[in-house]
């Protein structure tokens, strides 16, 4: 059985300011750095052999802190990037027009072909996230990888592993520096292949990790 840990990056300046990030970038806040160190403390004795990260700055920094705790190097995979949110990237959520808010909502309300202009669909993101996860099957026997990615990206990955379509209503909250785990296994009582062991665990964090729209 292959166990793969999934970690969302720490809190960023734009998370705190309620700005849309997508594939644009924003540095971790002091709290975000602390969250990443707390993940490192949580996983350092789990036998992590590989830390694989999205190549965006906020995930790189989170991954570097975790990898240092685990004694691993970091490798980067652009397939683990956040959803490309097109013309709305870098915009404060509260500044969106009614039309722009409708575009944004199509990503989370079950609209089958929803996307922001010049952006990416949930199905397109799900396809690359599955490619990145399945690449872990090619690691040496006995590996235990940890992937550092983003909230919507990890959410669509876990949801589609559970059998939901990529465009399904978004009902899984993965807070900053939450830890999830998926296993590739063969069981008499579960579907063969990837199964979800845990999702969105934040018990290792000293302070609550707030979801963007709850601030």
What's 2-214's CATH class?
A: alpha beta
In the residue annotation, 204 being an active-site residue is answered as no
Contacts with 73 (C-beta within 8 Å, 6 or more apart), sequence order = 51, 67
Question: Which mean pLDDT values do the consecutive 10-residue runs of the chain (215 residues) have?
Answer: 98 94 96 98 98 98 98 97 98 97 97 97 98 98 98 98 97 96 96 97 88 56
Task: Report d(CA 150, CA 10) in Å as an integer.
Answer: 9
Which listed residue (9, 50, 150, 167) is catalytic? 9
Which residue, among 23, 50, 42, 202, has the nearest Cα to 124 in the 3D structure?
A: 23
In the residue annotation, 82 being an active-site residue is answered as yes
For the chain, the domains span: 2-214
Q: Residue 207: what pLDDT?
A: 81
Q: Residue 23: what pLDDT?
A: 98
Contact at 8 Å (CB) between 178 and 200?
yes
Q: Residue 215: what pLDDT?
A: 52
Q: Residue 214: what pLDDT?
A: 52
Q: How many other CB atoms are there within 10 angstroms of residue 176's CB atom?
A: 28
Q: Residue 11: what pLDDT?
A: 96
Angle subtended by helix axes 151-161 and 122-135, to nearest 10: 80
Which listed residue (11, 82, 89, 212) is catalytic? 82
Contact at 8 Å (CB) between 119 and 48?
no
Structure tokens at 161: 């592993």
């Amino acid at each position: 059985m292959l166990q793969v840990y999934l970690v969302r990056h720490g809190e960023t300046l734009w998370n705190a300011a309620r700005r849309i990030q997508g594939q644009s970038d924003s540095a971790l806040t002091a709290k975000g750095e602390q969250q990443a160190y707390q993940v490192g403390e949580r996983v350092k004795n789990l036998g992590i052999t590989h830390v694989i990260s999205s190549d965006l700055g906020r995930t790189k920094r989170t991954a570097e802190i975790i990898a240092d705790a685990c004694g691993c190097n970091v490798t980067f995979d652009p397939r683990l990037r956040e959803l490309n949110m097109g013309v709305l990237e870098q915009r404060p959520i509260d500044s969106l027009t009614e039309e722009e808010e409708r575009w944004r909502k199509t990503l989370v309300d079950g609209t089958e072909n929803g996307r922001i202009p010049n952006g990416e669909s949930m199905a397109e993101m799900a396809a690359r996230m599955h490619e990145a996860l399945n690449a872990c099957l090619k690691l040496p026997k006995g590996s235990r990888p940890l992937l550092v990615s983003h909230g919507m990206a990890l959410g669509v990955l876990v949801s589609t592993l559970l059998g939901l379509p990529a465009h399904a209503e978004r009902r899984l909250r993965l807070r900053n520096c939450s830890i999830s785990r998926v296993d590739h296994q063969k069981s008499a009582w579960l579907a063969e292949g990837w199964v979800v062991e845990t999702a969105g665990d934040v018990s290792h964090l000293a302070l609550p990790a707030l979801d963007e729209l709850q601030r």
